[in-house]
Structure 1
Amino acid sequence: MSWLDRVRNALPFTAKRDTADNLWHKCRQCQQMVFVKEWEDNLNVCPRCDHHDRIGAKERFAQLFDGGLHEMIAAPAAPEDPLKFRDTKKYVDRIKAARAQTGDRDAYQNAFGRISGQGVVIGVQDFAFMGGSMGVAVGEAFVAGVEDAIRRGVPYIAITAAGGARMQEGTLSLMQMPRATVALARLRRAGLPYIVLLTDPTTGGVTASYAMLGDVQIAEPKALIGFAGQRVIENTIREKLPEGFQRAEYLLDHGMIDMVVHRKDLPETLGRLIGYLAPEKAA
């Protein structure tokens, strides 16, 4: 051991894991360093540039339900590797890694709770789990959430964040698009509202199905929303697309969504919508 190591070990330095990693958050938009507590107190929104960071089901439920109180809804079991798929890694290994990282079984979670005192089932798609990709498990969870809302007689809210269908499940992943559409038809026959909150990013097959079928379409500020990527579209049509194309504000201006709502205003906005659309059923 060198003299420098001996001196360093003798001094009361704070371990690295107790300082920078825990105290600071770097905004991916403005690149500014923000105190983690300030960032979390601001609902995971950058207080400098107002960038709405991606969050998972746990944070969504805590922020939206009254007092954060909710009851998780178990999703049916789904085949984990129906095609025995492998690319650079086995599909089952990718699933295991995503579960270890997020602590969730798959990319979609449902919970029942109250917003402004009104009952509602919320489903949240987590981009941190394999890019929020839509596979059989996501389809099963979505349908289970809709069916639970029908059973309880309350509205269903879907919060989307996805890169599209899960390629490792091939056609089976694409089949979740019509499955979700049929489930929503049953919800409407029951006279219950379906509200969608589009968050960054919502793309691919998710956008082509349940993400754009809401009675009311809401988006968070500057959320990326679209089917194909901007570069793919530009290369296909041989034209330069407008600035901000596929962002929430552009879609609002062109009638694709109904409103853009800041995260801090979501509980009040959703509560008001539920009161308008289902004043008796959500009681």
Structure 2
Amino acid sequence: MATTEKMCHLTAAELLDAVVDEGSFFSWDTEPEQPVVSAEYARDLARARERSGVDESVITGAGLIRGRQVALVVSEFSFLAGSIGHAAAQRIVAAVERATAEGLPLLAGPASGGTRMQEGTLAFLSMVKITGAVRAHRKAGLPYLVYLRHPTTGGVMASWGSLGHINVAEPGALLGFLGPRVYEALHSVPFPQNVQVTENLFNKGLIDGVVNTASLADLVDRALRILMPHRYPVPSLAAPSTLSVSPAEVDAWTSIGITRQPRRPDLRQLLKYGATDALPLSGTGQGEKDPGLLLALARFGTQSCIVLGHSRPLRKDAPGMGPGSLREARRGMKLAEELRLPLLTVIDTAGAALSQEAEEGGLAGEIARSLYDLIGLESPSVSVLLGQGTGGGALALLPADRTIAAQHSWLSPLPPEGASAIVHRTTAFAPDMAEVQGVNVASLYASGLVDHIVDERDDAALEPREFCTRMAHAIEYELASVAGVPISKLVAARGRKYSNLGVF
């Protein structure tokens, strides 16, 4: 949608009516304390109050969203273009701090032209204290969700408007740092169309989704069911039948052939058939969106988690996993730590991208940083070997407290053909190299890497729904097994596990 197209301004009251359970909103606002103002600015404030029907550019309070108490900070654009001055900033900070003190998740709905020009630099600097309050809220392990509305620009977009654990926006909204009117005044040409719009930001990996107002309550409800699972009692889990499964009784090369079948179930099908619910996120939030990785919030039965894993290419000529995928993965790792949720990593890759772009994008460094973050991750973790596991792209998602393997999955520093080419100068010895290198589940289980095997009966491609259901039960069980263990013990045991691999 072009930025010049006329967009309606969703009022604060309309947003609250759409998202909050009827009759449940309770205002936290007190009379705003304005700084010393000029007579002209005082008249501007008076006119804004009269036109908007509110006393400042933000409304704060708490209400029920599908029965769950949620704190809210919502902009009113009709009050001086939703601009943030001293009084509005104080109101936002007070609301965020109260939400933190009361242990409430927070939904922000900014719609603002930025900081208030009439108050100058001090209004501009108020973005720092708002950011500090949001940071404390997030550090307390409480979800901060942002719904960007038309328009959100300037200092608001560059502070509390971009800091959500989940950032979504209404369709067609103008979103950006630089207001297009300012750009045109400074440069005498219009800002390029279709850049500062919701859909473009989503395509670039800057926000997680495009959500209309009518769907917002459902999104918030689903997200908080995953992010705050402690509200719901968790029954004790029976041990799944897969705990007694043994490695497949076939050679490594046979297993490799099975995992390369196009119809083999992948992470998308695992979430579709196995997860109780899944909410995909999008990109790094920093302008990268690599199709090689899928990041989501999910529940497997009773267990919530952050999921990140390889997204199997839908075309044969699709590039391998690039450095942007691992930067997105590291976003997921940080979410798990901050929200105090287990992390689930899913490995299914024929290898990372081999290209100039991947090298110049820092692929090797991103693999290293991913390993560094996972081995010391301050959150419970489970990894799943779902299919192919080739090279540094597989290694980058592997370290975890518990590792589950599909019966025919495998893990190798290179495709067996590549290993054969290095050792024998021909790919003809690939089956022999696969056996000698110990890439299959039997070898990985014997070495102590794999803790839990999920049977395929005899090939997951022949029973995708049933296989994904069994894998999901195994995931739920392993997530539950590490969820209650103190983090310090998990990190120490994780380090010992990888130090002792292959030591008998």
Q: Decide: shared fold, TM above 0.5.
A: yes
C-alpha displacement of 1:145 = 1.2
Tell me the distance in 2 between the aligned counterparts of 1:113 and 1:212: 23
Alignment-derived partner of residue 251 in structure 1? 201
Q: Is the 8 A contact 1:85 1:168 kept in 2?
A: no
1:104-143 mapped onto 2 (5 Å cutoff) = 104-143=54-93
Structure exhibiting the larger radius of gyration computed from Cα positions: 2
Tell me the distance in 2 between the aligned counterparts of 1:125 and 1:281: 29
Unaligned 5+ segments in structure 2 are 234-504
C-alpha displacement of 1:147 = 1.4
Alignment-derived partner of residue 15 in structure 2? 60
C-alpha displacement of 1:232 = 5.2
The CA deviation string for residues 15-50 of structure 1, in whole angstroms up to 9 with x for no partner, is: xxxxxxxxxxxxx967xxxxxxxxxxxxxxxxxxxx
Alignment of 1:149 onto 2:99: yes
Tell me the distance in 2 between the aligned counterparts of 1:195 and 1:116: 16
Q: Is the 8 A contact 2:96 2:137 kept in 1?
A: yes
Alignment-derived partner of residue 38 in structure 2? 85
- Which structure has the higher relative contact order (CA within 8 Å, separation 6+)? 1
Q: TM-score, normalised by structure 2?
A: 0.43
Q: Is the 8 A contact 2:183 2:190 kept in 1?
A: no
Computed over aligned residues only, the root mean square deviation of the Cα atoms, in angstroms, reads 2.6
The CA deviation string for residues 137-164 of structure 1, in whole angstroms up to 9 with x for no partner, is: 1111111111121122111111000111
Tell me the distance in 2 between the aligned counterparts of 1:166 and 1:241: 22
The percentage of counterpart residues that share the same residue type is: 36
Alignment of 1:210 onto 2:160: yes
Aligned residue identity for 1:187: H
- List, as ranges, runs of 4+ consecutive aligned residues in structure 1 with deviation greater than 6 Å: 234-241
Q: TM-score, normalised by structure 1?
A: 0.74
Q: Is the 8 A contact 1:81 1:91 kept in 2?
A: no
Residue 29 of structure 2: which of 67, 70, 74 is its match?
74
C-alpha displacement of 1:243 = 3.9
Q: 1:240 to 1:55 in 2, by over 3 A?
A: closer
Q: Is the 8 A contact 1:113 1:119 kept in 2?
A: yes
Alignment-derived partner of residue 186 in structure 1? 136
The CA deviation string for residues 109-167 of structure 1, in whole angstroms up to 9 with x for no partner, is: 11211112111001110110000001011111111111121122111111000111101
Q: Is the 8 A contact 1:226 1:246 kept in 2?
A: yes
Q: 1:167 to 1:85 in 2, by over 3 A?
A: farther
Tell me the distance in 1 between the aligned counterparts of 2:193 and 2:46: 39
Partner SS for 1:158: strand
Partner SS for 2:56: coil
Aligned residue identity for 1:249: E
Alignment-derived partner of residue 121 in structure 2? 171
